[in-house]
Structure 1
Amino acid sequence: MQVYHLDLHELPLFQGVPAAEVEQFIAATGAKIKRVSRGARILEAYEENHNIGVIVEGEAQVLAEDRFGNENVSHNLERGEMLGSTSAIMPQIPYDMAIEALTDVLVLWIPYQSLLTAGPKLGHTHGLVMKNLLEAFCRKNVLMMQKIKILSQKTLRERLILYLLYKEQRQGKARVQVPGRVQLAKELECNRSALTREISSMQTEGLLHTGEDWMELDAVKIAAMD
């Protein structure tokens, strides 16, 4: 697949790397771009994997599998976010997360071993990519901590408010894009009917404004709750 039209240099992994050097990186590491259809698994839990993936287009979700084989939504992945890094870097540790495509997805797969040995070929570019890779790992840890904080809230209302506040931080605006009610209920680990009632109640109280695919907290009224 031709990659020049995908603006790969705009991905966080290639921040500071000119487009031409991104092409050189692709060639030097043997990275490939593959398409995954909506609803298909990009990675299965416990699957052997030797590549670090980067979402180029589309959206996916991370599913955590418990000891009984049940799956819960951990978090979503959008353009620029990485997947498969844990199983690629530490294959000796069983990785119980699956990745499922929520839309048609393009994934850039970078062989981990090639990434490690490509330094002499790529010079400064390799250093930039490794720096960006470490920053991405840190962002991933932040998302996991945020997930823990959301689910530790005592009430569903508090979960939803904190979830939306984190969305505001990441999207940089008050009116944030959100998934459908079924998906949102999975992310908040609650009953869909209970979530619908809570959203309706918050709308009635003027705490929340919603559209088909967006939500916006009333900052003044939310602040007054503290």
Structure 2
Amino acid sequence: MKKEITYKDIPLFANIKEMDLNQLFTCLRSYKQKYKRGENIIMEQDNVQYIGVVLSGMVHMLKDDIWGNQTLLGFMEPGELIGESFAVRRSTESYVRFQAVKDSEIIFLAASSIIHNCPRQCGFHAQITQNMFQLMGEKTVQLMEKIEVSSKSSLRDKILAYLSLMSQKQNSRYIESPLTRTELAEYLCANRSAMTRELAAMKEEGILDYDKNTYNLKK
């Protein structure tokens, strides 16, 4: 079970003194909101004025096509940002949908108060701006990882590319995936039954072993 995250664990607030947080939240016009599993947080075409930080739960970034099919573009766990790429654009209209896939709590911070000069000249303002752009760079890398995985020519290669990325991030061949089997199939843009068959074939060949959302890479 994951440890509950605190504000000092959140990368957006790195190098900001705990005593300054209350002033920061006032300056950035913050508010918290809880969402039930399956509830939408930001809809496509919403104007995004606030940057969200996931405090608990998990959020999926989804793209829906005109036929109602959805593609899982990314997932955000506690400490990660949602909506920041849209909130800092000239046009703040969201291109995607953000949905809570577990009961979640989000703290929202006014984007304009982060990216513009602070009239109060708060000491932490330059730091949180620096932190935000660092995190936006990391989000870009995550989307590149998604492209890397989904661009593989075969389903087996997509599965192995995803597991390889998780292995590198967790520094272990024993991997705990944050995605359920259904969510993983959606992330890979694959049929769940076909993915299950491919996993079973790789297990039989001794390439990997698995149990629910844990995987052990053997080769």
TM-score by length of 2: 0.90
Residues of 2 paired with 1:127 and 1:41: CA distance?
32
Instruction: Kindly indicate whether the alpha-carbon contact (under 8 Å) linking 1:15 and 1:132 is maintained by their aligned counterparts in 2.
Output: yes
Counterpart mapping for 1:1-226 below 5 A: 7-66=6-65, 68-90=67-89, 92=91, 94-117=93-116, 119-121=118-120, 123-178=122-177, 179-218=179-218, 221=219
Measure how far apart 1:117 and its partner are.
4.5
Structure 1 residues 171 and 106, CA gap change in structure 2 (3 angstroms):
farther
Q: How many residues of Structure 1 are paired with residues of Structure 2 in the alignment?
A: 215
Percent identity (aligned): 26
Structure 1 residues 59 and 116, CA gap change in structure 2 (3 angstroms):
same
Residues of 2 paired with 1:94 and 1:48: CA distance?
4
Identify the residue that residue 224 of structure 1 maps to in structure 2. Answer: none
Superposed CA deviations along residues 139-165 of structure 1, whole A, max 9, x for unmatched, are 111011111111111111111111011
The residue type equivalent to 1:194 in the other structure is A
Q: Structure 1 regions of 5+ residues with no counterpart?
A: 222-226
Structure 1 residues 122 and 6, CA gap change in structure 2 (3 angstroms):
farther
The residue type equivalent to 1:153 in the other structure is K
Residues of 1 paired with 2:28 and 2:144: CA distance?
32
The residue type equivalent to 1:43 in the other structure is I
Structure 1 residues 94 and 66, CA gap change in structure 2 (3 angstroms):
farther
Residues of 2 paired with 1:174 and 1:6: CA distance?
25
Measure how far apart 1:23 and its partner are.
2.2
Q: Structure 2 regions of 5+ residues with no counterpart?
A: none
Structure 1 residues 91 and 143, CA gap change in structure 2 (3 angstroms):
same
SS at match of 2:120: helix
Residues of 1 paired with 2:145 and 2:51: CA distance?
23
Structure 1 residues 142 and 117, CA gap change in structure 2 (3 angstroms):
closer
Residues of 1 paired with 2:121 and 2:53: CA distance?
19
Residues of 1 paired with 2:102 and 2:88: CA distance?
27
Structure 1 residues 216 and 161, CA gap change in structure 2 (3 angstroms):
same
The answer to which structure has the higher helix fraction is 1
The residue type equivalent to 1:106 in the other structure is E
Residues of 2 paired with 1:151 and 1:114: CA distance?
36
Q: CA RMSD in A?
A: 1.9
Instruction: Kindly indicate whether the alpha-carbon contact (under 8 Å) linking 1:65 and 1:96 is maintained by their aligned counterparts in 2.
Output: no
Instruction: Kindly indicate whether the alpha-carbon contact (under 8 Å) linking 1:54 and 1:81 is maintained by their aligned counterparts in 2.
Output: yes
TM-score by length of 1: 0.88
Superposed CA deviations along residues 74-102 of structure 1, whole A, max 9, x for unmatched, are 11110111111133222526432101111
Structure 1 residues 39 and 130, CA gap change in structure 2 (3 angstroms):
same
Residues of 1 paired with 2:173 and 2:50: CA distance?
36
Instruction: Kindly indicate whether the alpha-carbon contact (under 8 Å) linking 1:48 and 1:91 is maintained by their aligned counterparts in 2.
Output: no
Instruction: Kindly indicate whether the alpha-carbon contact (under 8 Å) linking 1:39 and 1:103 is maintained by their aligned counterparts in 2.
Output: yes
